Structure 1
Amino acid sequence: LPFALGAFVFGVGSVAAIGFIKQKTRLKEDTVIGLVFTGFFALGLILVSKVRSSIDLLHILFGNVLGISQADIHQTLGISLLVLLVLLVFRRDLILFCFDPSHARSIGINTGFLHYLLLAVLSLAAVAGLQTVGIILVVAMLVTPGASAYLLTDRFDRMTQIAVASGVLSSIMGIYLSYFIDASTAGCIVVVQTLLFLLAMVFAPKHGLLRRSLRP
């Protein structure tokens, strides 16, 4: 079973499990996510220790961007294009669902389908990032660019552009930094991304800490 396919299957499985447990119990979503993700992570460790594979556990956890093959590049490109296509096709419905699910439901949009579609797209994005930064640091690459962009603008389209630019810039700078200081590539990418977030948090023109401190 290819690594990416297995990762996607278990990713979608974890998404389905989170949705099912949240709907059938009184537990909050953050609690359910913690339970399901740690359970699937433990299951993955057991499978890695029992099933022979050419994939090193450390590469799954922390990535190996300098050791990826041509096939891995094509695979990541294919997943990225698929995610982009889904987002373009369902863009308006997803935006309405994320910002006002009650209104989306009232006008006949299938919010349940959009919920699981969005989580499936997130799973695909995580799979695309596994080869680069690994399963642990991929969360930072999914969250931090959006968080930085959210501090810099209130317009959704501009926010998306800034998030993409931030992710690309931090990846390039992180790779160069890891080469010159001979350190983990994944770690350097996420550190650069975190530094960009801190700059946005302090110097954002409207929501930055410096701007707020100067307000009367």
Structure 2
Amino acid sequence: MTDTFNSLIRRIPKWLLYTVAAFYPAWLLYSGLTGGLGVDPVKAMEHALGKVGLQLIVLGLIVTPLRSLSGVSLLPLRRVIGVVAFSYILLHFAVWLVLDVQILSQIWADILKRPYVTVGMVGLVLLLPLALTSNNWSVRKLGPRWRKLHKLTYPAALFGVAHYLMQSRGFQYEPLIYVGVVVLLVAWRLLPRRRPAAKTS
């Protein structure tokens, strides 16, 4: 069953996934323009893009432990997941920048004075080199350094869930769940793996 599932995953066209992913922000924009996102469509769009982007980052972190624990491999999709996650986070930032704050001096003031904005910006900056190197040329050019560079996903995810938690008003369970999941995934990554014992003749 696992082999069959993994085989199906490998056959999914990447272009199809990118096309499907493009429909979500397009749908949000349409809903915002037609009154489907409530009284504050800009905030609704901003939060929705950020939240789904964060969910995709978490999904990308789950790929390796999922394969190790169950044999199910989403590795062929990890690059797509990462690129789409960054695209949604970038759109989340763009909506905040262009449609929400708008005033350049206020944008800079928010980044410097509002901790949750500062934390979110750090997370975005950490994701930028990952997005720029998510291509075959960069993998070949960087060699082993590519894997080291892409470990930035873990601190970026931590800053992302911190941003989500800090901007939440009042006590909410959902942001805490995201924090707990990401902390567990980072801990799983940092824990030393027991190597198989060498066979003796």
TM-score when normalising by structure 2: 0.31
